[in-house]
Amino acid sequence: MFRNKLGCYIFRVCNWIYTHKQVKYTKPSILMPQNQWNKKCHHITGYPHISLLAAGFGFITYSLCDMKYVVYADDSQDTRDEDKKANLFDNNLPTYSTSEVSKHSNYKERIWVTYKNGVYDVTDFIHEHPGGDQILMAAGGAVDPFWMLYSVHLNPHVLNILEKYRIGNLDPKENNDNTSDMSDPYSNEPKRHVILKPACVKPFNAESPEQLLVENFITPNELFYVRNHLPVPDIDSTTYSLEIEIEGKSKTLTLTLDELKKFPKYSVTATVMCAGNRRSEMTKIKPVKGLNWGAAAVGNATWSGASLREVLKKAGLNEKDLDKYKHVQFEAFDTDATGSAYGASIPIWKAVDRRGDVILAYEMNGVPLPRDHGFPVRVIVPGVVGARNVKWLGKIIVSSEESQSHWQQNDYKGFSPSTDWDTVDYSKSPSIQELPVTSAICQPIPNSTVTVENGQITVRGYAWSGGGQDIVRVDVTSDGGKTWHVANFEHRDPQNAPQHWSWTLWTCKLPVSKEDKKVEIWAKAVDSSYNTQPESFENIWNLRGVLNNAYHRITVNLE
């Protein structure tokens, strides 16, 4: 099958999916050393005539349109040898910075990508790529995170092809991922992958293309949505300290990062979702205040750290205190021009409940937290809105009252559709904690053209409910709700409610009419408390554009 010519290595994988049940996700694997990741043997299944979502750099695409074909990640010695080439510095080639590479993201400037320490010009490959322009997702950036998603690329033949397009080395100084301009409070921001679509640059807020979300149960760190309210602090882990205060008590506990790591280490796989996820759909009813998020302001990761419950106990909190104190406040190291820090709080019952699984995380998917995601420590509050999962954690306060920060008192609250900016009173609305049940269609993407196979199209997406509720069903329709088809679950959290913290990935073979040239697809989820999504946004509209959980609807063309 494998021939010497490049064209023979271009394969079309037709509608391939991960067979998640054959892979254990109890331990993070996204950023493992490459040979360990390969041994996970992710299975990828192809089906006839449906194009590959090329996730950035689809060198391997199989042209097997008359049969089902299963491909395994290759952990052979040949693969390891070829992979090492990308790590080697080639003295015969020029060196480029990531900023130089990022300029080459279109045909006029030519399409460049990086893999490990190599820089590659793949412009001449694109016209031969069966996945079409999907390959441009990684243009001007790194393909590494995509290859973590699609481990089938880790094959000696593919890596050999890649090396043929090498034009240079990535500057070794790029290991320092910061730039600095002291006149700009945002000058010391971390570098981000070009795949992230910014909703705002300063402060940085961005999400991945929705179609990538369902390609892996665990979201790679580089593709995880970023929600920042202020400049990203640059914290030295060797001098970092976390202060824990119990209101009214003289004793204050201060922990260094090393001391925090001496507590028993817990891991929890949990979905974090922004309160404004899917806001762009609500704005179609009438304008709202907030970032124009699509359906990808959400991600699922394995977080590891110390139990908040155990840390509070160490700080002196006991059972008798629970009648006096009602909230646990969190203060961050990110501050505004006045020195005011980002802050939030959660009910104390959530913080101390054994089943609450609240942790002070210092790892994300098996590696130290990236700066954008709270390095060195953030609180992870499973089942609760992302705004309470405070990053760059500096102080914890056990208190009789909620955090008085702007973001707890005057933001992240829901209101009646009739409330406007002349009548809004934030003091009369409770702060959002647990999010309602929601779902989204991730594949196909809106307004794309989908090939009908045997009277059906394949629809994939995610579903999630706050508070640890399980997803019991996802319904999908193509005829305006006259008939509903129950989706199959591709991967789901094995934990039962009320500790079902992760999203559920689903797929549906949706019947469509042969006569239709265009169809609107709807999806709705039902959780283990039999809560379901509202039909439309009209009756849940609110001026802040939060709690966007109406049916997800997209329109696609059929062929």
Show the DSSP H helices in 230-368 as ranges: 257-260, 279-282, 308-314, 348-352
Q: Choose among 504, 521, 507: nearest CA to 450.
A: 521
Can you tell me which residue has the tokens 């594949």?
A: 443
Run of H or E residues at 485: strand 485-486
Q: 251: which residues sit within 8 A by CB, 6+ positions away?
A: 315, 316
Tokens 């399409």 locate to 111
CB-based burial label for 274 (10 Å; 0-12, 13-18, 19+): buried
DSSP-assigned letter for residue 73: -
% helix / strand / coil in the chain, to the nearest 5?
20, 30, 50
CA distance 189 to 482: 50
Q: Tell me how far the alpha carbon of residue 347 is from its chain's centroid.
A: 26
Distance CA 451, CA 133 (A): 17
Q: Are the beta carbons of 315 and 244 closer than 8 angstroms?
A: yes
* Token output for 401: 């009252």
Query: What are the beta bridge partners of residue 72?
Result: 43
Q: Give the number of residues written for the chain.
A: 559
3-state secondary structure 506-558: EEEEEECCCCCCEEEEEEEEEECCCCECCCCCCCCCCCCCCCCCCCEEEEEEE
Among 518, 523, 515, residue whose Cα is nearest residue 557: 518
Q: How far apart are CA 497 and CA 162, in angstroms?
A: 46
DSSP 179-205: ---TTSTTTTPBP--TTSEEEETTTTE
CB-CB contact of 57 with 113 (8 Å): yes
DSSP 8-state class, residue 143: -
Question: Checking DSSP bridges between strand 298-307 and strand 359-364, what pairing results, if any?
Answer: antiparallel
Q: In the structure encoding, which two tokens stand for residue 443, read together?
A: 């594949």
Q: Residue 161's closest CA among 2, 3, 1, 9?
A: 9
Buried b (16+ CB within 10 A) or exposed e, 301-340: bbbbbbbbbebbeebbbeeebeeebebbbbbbbbbeeeee
Cite the active site residues. Answer: 129, 153, 227, 274, 412
| Alpha-carbon torsion angle 35, 370, 443, 548, nearest 10 | 150
